Amino acid sequence: MDKRIEAFINNELSDEEIALLEAQLRTDKRLAEELAFYLSVKKLAAGEPRRLKLETRHKEWQEKRREKAPLQLRDWRWAAAIVVIGIGLAWLLKTGTGADLHELSGGYIAQNFETLSVRMSGADTGDSLQTAINAFNGGDAGAALAICEEILRRDPGNAEALKTAGIAALKSKDYDKAIQFFRLLGDDTSLYGNPGRFYEAVARLQKGGEQDTKQAEALLDEVIEKDLEGKKEAEKWRKGD
């Protein structure tokens, strides 16, 4: 997250920095998304509807401005605050649950991908895959990814290697690789309990951006409609529970 967002909320930016932030928010979608995410998740009280929380915060800034009439140079920070918060409000209402889905997918990763286990399928591949798992569990996701990629060069259809490679790439924040591996995993119709589509949605949500978020939402809907692995989480996320 851009450090200026938290600094702005904490009233730690200069007038010039606020003006620059305001200008960038008007054209930088990712920065606007970060502001909306911060307002909705990090700083505002839980348990109220997102729209009400942001509208209430925006109203507070407007009231502070009206209390200071006529507007003078020292009131610049209040005027700029109204604009910045207003942009965050408009962006979050426009993007719907994108920020929430990003947070939920991040929580899923933290809860489910700290350590991994493996089903041994063959002596050579199994040993290599276990080495990758050991590297991952030891905190070296990059090494785990490299080992899995070597396995996949010899055995492109190895489902366990695809899954492990995708998770390792995800933990390494190499979202494009994670998406690629999970897509290939999801395409394997011979598997029982295939998490590929759901994991791809998780990777796209972490990658962020309007297009990837839309694709992730479509994947979550597919998981629900086809009763794929991850359906329980997908239903909760789509309902906003």
Q: State which amino acid sits at residue 19.
A: A
Cβ-based neighbour number of residue 48 at 10 Å: 11
Please state the pTM of the whole predicted model. 0.61
Is 33 inside a domain boundary?
A: yes
Residue 239 burial by Cβ neighbours in a 10 Å radius (0-12, 13-18, 19+): exposed
Query: For the segment 131-184, what is each residue's pLDDT rounded down to a tens digit?
Result: 999 999 999 999 999 999 999 999 999 999 999 999 999 999 999 999 999 999
Q: Tell whether 138 and 178 lie within a shared domain.
A: yes
Q: Is the pLDDT of residue 66 over 70?
A: no
Q: Tell whether 142 and 218 lie within a shared domain.
A: yes
Residue 66 burial by Cβ neighbours in a 10 Å radius (0-12, 13-18, 19+): exposed
Q: Tell whether 78 and 184 lie within a shared domain.
A: no
**How far apart are the C-alpha atoms of 37 and 174, rounded to whole Å?**
21
**What 3-state DSSP class applies to 233?**
helix
With beta carbons less than 8 A apart as the criterion, state whether 116 and 136 touch.
yes
CA 238 to chain centre: 15
The per-residue pLDDT of the chain, averaged, comes to 79
Q: Tell whether 158 and 42 lie within a shared domain.
A: no
* Domain boundary pick from 73, 95, 117: 95
Q: Tell whether 120 and 73 lie within a shared domain.
A: no
Is 229 inside a domain boundary?
A: yes
Is 206 inside a domain boundary?
A: yes
Is 101 inside a domain boundary?
A: no
CATH number for the domain including 121?
Answer: 1.25.40.10
Q: State which amino acid sits at residue 95.
A: T
Is 184 inside a domain boundary?
A: yes
Count of domains observed in the chain: 2
Q: Tell whether 73 and 111 lie within a shared domain.
A: no
Query: What is the pLDDT, as a whole number, of residue 6?
Result: 74
Query: Which H or E element spans position 153?
Result: helix 141-154
Is 133 inside a domain boundary?
A: yes
Q: Tell whether 146 and 174 lie within a shared domain.
A: yes
Q: Which of 200, 225, 232 is nearest to 215 (CA)?
A: 200
**How far apart are the C-alpha atoms of 233 and 222, rounded to whole Å?**
13
- Orientation angle between helical segments 141-154 and 159-171, nearest 10 degrees: 150
Is 100 inside a domain boundary?
A: no
**How far apart are the C-alpha atoms of 178 and 156, rounded to whole Å?**
15
Cβ-based neighbour number of residue 136 at 10 Å: 25
Model confidence at 31, pLDDT cuts 50, 70, 90, reads: confident
Model confidence at 96, pLDDT cuts 50, 70, 90, reads: very low
Q: Tell whether 188 and 222 lie within a shared domain.
A: yes
Name the residue range of residue 116's domain: 106-239
Q: Which two tokens stand for residue 104?
A: 């939920």
**How far apart are the C-alpha atoms of 189 and 241, rounded to whole Å?**
30
* Domain boundary pick from 95, 114, 139: 95
Q: Tell whether 89 and 133 lie within a shared domain.
A: no
Is 24 inside a domain boundary?
A: yes
**How far apart are the C-alpha atoms of 84 and 6, rounded to whole Å?**
12
Model confidence at 48, pLDDT cuts 50, 70, 90, reads: very low
Q: Tell whether 181 and 149 lie within a shared domain.
A: yes
Q: Tell whether 141 and 229 lie within a shared domain.
A: yes
Q: Tell whether 157 and 183 lie within a shared domain.
A: yes
* Domain boundary pick from 55, 70, 95: 95
